[in-house]
Amino acid sequence: MKNLSLLLLLLMIILKSSAQNLAGGDTILKFDQKFTKCERKWVAFRRSDTVKRIYYGFIYIDEQAGFTLDLKGTFYIDISNKFIADTSLSANKALKYRLKPNWPYFGLIPSKRFAELNLLAEPAWVKIYYQNTDTLQHLYRMGYVYNDADECGIALTYLKRAYVVNPHPPGVDFELAFAYNALKQYDDAISVLLPAMLSKPGDPLYYKELGYAYSHKNDYPNAIDTYKKGIEYFKGDEPNESKGEMASNMASIYKAMGKMDDYKFWMIKAKEYTPTTSYIYKQITDAGF
């Protein structure tokens, strides 16, 4: 009887452990990685349409499309903690998904599990996406993709290298300044933007970033002057989100300075400039305008 009780207890422990593993328990997989931290890695993720089966694939960057998941298939973890793969999903076609911020967190597949899933450390086909990695185009696009994914610190590592090669090809100086502003390195952003604006006069987006940097340094006179000049460079009367954002930011500066008449004037202008579908338009209306 004592031996039977011991056997039942042992069986319960095994079943409990197996259940945890099937759900991605802490003993095997931790689903705690944002996709931006998983470039060139094999990952696993769960979906609501399955409990036991876990999806897996490889994350890489397509320079044009951004972060991409190449879905390999599904697997489950058996009672002995072995990964059992099913690749029928991708047997006859490639399944690729462009990753957006709302994707669930991934779990990194340990390298010691690659053999169980019949995986190479890196698929042979991915090499084509990482050719000529020292070229200006590659460095710029990688910086752009990481900025777009709100990983400006990583973007900076690529954009600084591109800037050394050539500071003024299309996009490099703007993306570099954007990353600096996002990281609150406002003096660095200004040092990039001032010469950029001399080489490409009349681009309002440079003024938007420069005004942002000045305003966050509490250099209100330069911020206001920069925003006003930038707004003048927008062509046509069609609503434009960037134009509305500049006017709204300038209104906030006037409010911080206690100049309420100017604040109200520029909030009304911002509403006029901004598309009604923009989140900025909603912020303006929520403020009572």
Q: What is the reported pLDDT for 3?
A: 46
Enclosing H/E stretch for 140: helix 136-148
Low-confidence ranges of the chain (pLDDT < 50): 1-26
Q: What is the reported pLDDT for 275?
A: 95
Distance of alpha carbon 228 from alpha carbon 49, whole angstroms: 52
Q: What is the reported pLDDT for 70?
A: 96
Residue at token pair 């460079």: 233
User: How far apart, in Å, are the Cα atoms of 70 and each of 126, 135, 150, 274, 282?
Assistant: 10, 25, 22, 38, 37
What would be the CATH architecture of the domain defined by 136-286? Alpha Horseshoe (1.25)
Residue 57, classed as helix, strand or coil, is strand
Q: What is the reported pLDDT for 13?
A: 38
Q: Write down the pTM of the prediction.
A: 0.81
In the chain, CATH 1.25.40.10 sits at 136-286
Distance of alpha carbon 223 from alpha carbon 203, whole angstroms: 16
